[in-house]
Amino acid sequence: MNNIEYDILDELYFVQSFESLKSILQLEETLLKATLWQLILDQLVKCMLDFDEEVTISNDDFEENFKKYHYIASKKGLFLHNSR
């Protein structure tokens, strides 16, 4: 896990919107987007439609709607984050 992934997971103990993450972490949009997608693929982050509805998405869904989704660390992501 690199430092950016660690910082993202650090913010995802609670559900966060994309814009909130971008603002808090001060990351470039393309970098945050790419890193979030990789964390989703690695099952370290879950994608949410809102604060309480998890959704399984394809790459196309993510590309089109990544700003609309919310994110939270998975149990696997929290475990990895806490073991570092």
Query: pLDDT 10s per residue in the chain (84 long)?
Result: 899 999 999 999 999 999 999 999 999 999 999 999 999 999 999 999 988 899 999 999 999 999 999 999 999 999 999 898
Predicted structure pTM score: 0.94
Delimit the domains of the chain by residue range.
Answer: 3-82
Determine the Cα–Cα distance for residues 72 and 47; give it in Å rounded to an integer.
7
CATH of domain 3-82: 1.10.10.10
Q: What is the distance of C-alpha 53 from the center of its chain?
A: 15
Q: Report the chain's terminal Cα–Cα distance, integer Å.
A: 9
